[in-house]
Structure 1
């Protein structure tokens, strides 16, 4: 037979003997020691222990008017009686934590404004809390005056974020903010992303794509930039480095302009785009020639590993190669990588 013990939560656990004794008490309408001992073949000490466990779990309670008689109550009543106080304490703690967090977070703008005024030499702040980063981005978007530059790697945008992104972009464009965004070529094949680009470009935004881009960047009014925090685990949601130092921000703007000049306008209605076979395969060949594995090639080009491997299989077949090594050798001998990207698109 199992024995009851206290769990990590501090509440007793219901063992098999006590559960059986509870079932007998429900049938009898009371906790009758003699009857329960006889029906379950329990020793007197085992019956007393079962009573103690059930009373501790509030499953047995004194009969009104006769406290010497213990009667069973429903599990829902026992649970409410047993954990009600703990639940109230948890709710109070949660409310207190929320209140403290809200009060402290309200000081965030004051903190950064004070730091900027106190020490102009400070180049950036590293914010590891993604929620705080999003809050700061939202605040910057609302106060953006003239220009927002965005680099969005990784291919298509997640469909669930596009409605909010569309509303945000249109609101900024209506205020006269110039909005320029860089995606990767693979974003062109995604219907939700194409629909989003169609709407925002119609409202005045400018969107271009390239086969490869750098990490995600947001630059507001050429004064402040958000860069992704470096994380050790790919599953970890990164925070951001918030850059304010004018020289660094200017450098990032120059990097954006360099990428922008070499990118291709994203015209959603255009039938043929740089994601057609020749352009994609040329990019894959170039990365394969550098020794990148399938996963890294896919990540660099913003496509799934499955799609990347399908392209690699087609390339291998077209080159009449039986392996990646032979495909790379055939490419090197043919001089295919010497052809400029725009000639392949």
Structure 2
């Protein structure tokens, strides 16, 4: 049976076989000699046609006389020929439907598990400051190509700069590109300027902005360290470590946006500069928005005392006797125009 099915699978109804079938229908049986004479073809061609028709179930033995082949209707032959295949197809379709339904029923379990797995793999929230520092040190040692740093809060503490200098020198010596963003207020700090000057000489890059969102370290565009602040200002300092590719890519874009809108910080000399125009513009903008001295200082990363000194200088430059009058006189100054042009970043 298997051999017959294999042969019939490759049998094709050609013109000679079709003509022989027509003659068999007219005769009521398949008579090789008569069909060869009527069609005017060699007997061997009729024999080949008989084999084709038999394989296609169009010829079947007459009951009681198996040596005589009689023609069968095409619809009956088709049912006989493909019946088993159709049954198998139906069984396969039922099996596929059953398997699909069984597997689809697991979708809620899959998505719930994936959400849990993504949460565990994408984020680690560490509340132990020593552990956070250990993980940062590990990433610094493993870093292969690039580190992106955002350091808000104005001037860096001297002890932090000492540690940062050794770390930066080590990474730059390995060919790691290092870019750091400070706030404008860091420009007036002599230790920070000295640090920037030394690291720039080794290939590091620095820019400053008037305001920064928060501290952020990005290593090889694969791992991001963010401050963990859900516990409030009095909570133990910690960090959220982000590894989820979509979020890491987004945070890298945030860095690039701040970098493109920042001003290069090269620290050519060790002399502390006077407050620059960009910082003045940032102070004026926050004053016009109604922020108190304390909030202006916090957002720009400086002490309240320093902020008030700058505000006094700005008020004097604007020939005003009060904060209100200073805000009014801003309309006649170019400070906010400067702020808007600076926001466009370098070309």
2:309 aligned with 1:310 = yes
Instruction: Provide, for residues 122-176 of structure 1, a one-character-per-residue CA deviation record: whole Å limited to 9, x for no partner.
Output: 4312111111111111111111111110000111110011121111111111111
Relative distance call for 1:296 and 1:302 in structure 2 (3 A) is same
Instruction: Provide, for residues 284-312 of structure 1, a one-character-per-residue CA deviation record: whole Å limited to 9, x for no partner.
Output: 01011112111111111111111100111
Match of 1:182 in 2: 181
2:243 aligned with 1:244 = yes
Cα distance in structure 2, aligned partners of 1:343 and 1:203: 27
Cα distance in structure 1, aligned partners of 2:205 and 2:288: 33
Relative distance call for 1:194 and 1:305 in structure 2 (3 A) is same
Cα distance in structure 1, aligned partners of 2:334 and 2:169: 46
Matched position secondary structure for 2:278: helix
Cα distance in structure 1, aligned partners of 2:136 and 2:254: 21
Relative distance call for 1:222 and 1:126 in structure 2 (3 A) is same
Cα distance in structure 1, aligned partners of 2:340 and 2:326: 19
Cα deviation for residue 279 of structure 1 reads 2.3
Instruction: Provide, for residues 2-45 of structure 1, a one-character-per-residue CA deviation record: whole Å limited to 9, x for no partner.
Output: xxxxxxxxxxxxxxxxxxxxxxxxxxxxxxxxxxxxxxxxxxxx
Cα deviation for residue 205 of structure 1 reads 1.1
Match of 1:337 in 2: 336
Relative distance call for 1:161 and 1:168 in structure 2 (3 A) is same
Relative distance call for 1:266 and 1:339 in structure 2 (3 A) is closer
**8 Å CA contact retained: 1:226, 1:241:** yes
Relative distance call for 1:318 and 1:235 in structure 2 (3 A) is farther
Relative distance call for 1:339 and 1:264 in structure 2 (3 A) is closer
Instruction: Provide, for residues 238-267 of structure 1, a one-character-per-residue CA deviation record: whole Å limited to 9, x for no partner.
Output: 211111111000000001011111112211
Which aligned pairs between 1:155-304 and structure 2 lie closer than 5 A?
A: 155-230=154-229, 233-234=232-233, 236-269=235-268, 276-304=275-303
Count of aligned pairs: 230
Cα distance in structure 2, aligned partners of 1:296 and 1:218: 25
**8 Å CA contact retained: 1:230, 1:238:** yes
Matched position secondary structure for 1:119: helix
Q: Tell me the TM-score normalised to structure 1 length.
A: 0.61
Cα distance in structure 2, aligned partners of 1:277 and 1:183: 15
2:161 aligned with 1:125 = no
Structure 2 gap ranges (5+) = 1-113
Cα deviation for residue 318 of structure 1 reads 2.9
Q: Tell me the TM-score normalised to structure 2 length.
A: 0.60
Cα distance in structure 2, aligned partners of 1:229 and 1:332: 40
Relative distance call for 1:301 and 1:275 in structure 2 (3 A) is farther
**8 Å CA contact retained: 2:123, 2:240:** yes
Cα deviation for residue 276 of structure 1 reads 3.3
Matched position secondary structure for 1:148: strand
Instruction: Provide, for residues 66-96 of structure 1, a one-character-per-residue CA deviation record: whole Å limited to 9, x for no partner.
Output: xxxxxxxxxxxxxxxxxxxxxxxxxxxxxxx
**8 Å CA contact retained: 1:231, 1:238:** no
Matched position secondary structure for 2:125: strand
Structure 1 gap ranges (5+) = 1-115
The runs of 4+ residues in structure 1 deviating greater than 6 Å are 271-275
